[in-house]
Chain A
Amino acid sequence: MAEVDDELSELIIMAQSGDESAIRKIVEKTQSRLFKFLFYLTNNTSSAQDLTQETYIRIFANLKELKDPRTFVSWAHRIAKNIFLDTVKTQKGQIDNTLVELTEETGGQSEHQSDDLILLRQGLEAMEEEERVVILLVDLQGYSYAEAGEILGTTENAVRSRLHRARASLSEILQEKMETRRASGSS
């Protein structure tokens, strides 16, 4: 997967020297992808915004450790994944989505998303976090099994196996949700 072009590589090298303009440009070039990953992980706009910022702060605080700029995006996903899983552990596995209702945010992005994508987000939210991460890395972000294995710190075979379970789990969850929806629609 070609993710880091020459321009981004050069910006990363400049950012490693502390160039703030380069940092801003790197964020601009990469934030859509990273935010989308965290948004589907959390199903909450505010949490995703917060985690995206946390991820970038950690990225740039440790950028000098990155030896090969071409691995920046996958490295960023690894950091994002770790921050998300740490947050889940801290909050005892529960992202507080009631916040969205109280602040009349209506989920922020929900107003612009179709029903099937809202259903997908709900299905993902019902999954175990580790399975959610692997299915989003491969099926949303488009990483290969090997690349996902690098991000997750595991083997390609382990990713394949985890992904198979995750897809089965998500399919089942979505099926149940659609049946519930049909049943309440017809009652």
Chain B
Amino acid sequence: MDLSLQVNDVTVRYGGFTALDNIRLEVQQHTTLGLVGESGSGKSTLARVIAGLIIPDQGQVLLGTEPLSRKRTREQRKSIQMIFQNPDASLNPKHSIRQILAEALLFHKIVGRAEVEKRSRQLLERVQLEGKALDKYPHEFSGGQRQRIAIARALSVEPSLLIADEPTSALDVSVQLNVLELLGALKSELNLTMLFISHDLGVIHAVSDKVAVMRQGKLVEISPKDKFFSRPEAAYSRELLSAVPQMPTMKSSGGLHEPRT
């Protein structure tokens, strides 16, 4: 299978602090790489380097076989899109949903001005929102709906790689499931390659084909999902897996406690 993304020896330093230390990883086309690690391990920094928001001090990012320079072309920008953690802050509060989607569509010439309305409605439909949402503003939506709009915006420019930086961590558990289902469906429908960042191993298990583990700016393991969850290589991975809280086993259909007899 062809490679969609290569990260070669990427290092990012902030003063004396090394946020990313010689990161090297590859993501194959049409697969999802789950990226896990504790807070501050460098997951989001790596995502931002790949998205072109942070220039690395060393190393290189390749989209397919094409190296991405410091100043990316419009086409390169379009190919990598990102969904952010906080749906409350990822949509411009002063722009209507119509403006948010139209800007992306027109800037990358995905459709002409005459077709923007139709395509925007299609995008909303794809993320299971009604067309009347176009005239509303971000504050008029719930967190889950906002995240769907952010997904629609990211997909509007038809990227080949989608980076999802903890897209469900700010959402209620019930809404998390909806968003994960939506991402899963869109991934298969659009043949997307995805880099999915989360500290929730349950979520990573649900969406990933491969799992990469980061700690203190270093990549400590990268393994196929089944291997990672059954026989993790790194001691830190085992530590992470053992730290997952376990639900009590349900012995009856009525709840967590034994029914009184």
Query: Does A pair with B?
Result: no
- Tell me the B residues contacting A by CB distance below 8 Å: none
- Tell me the A residues contacting B by CB distance below 8 Å: none
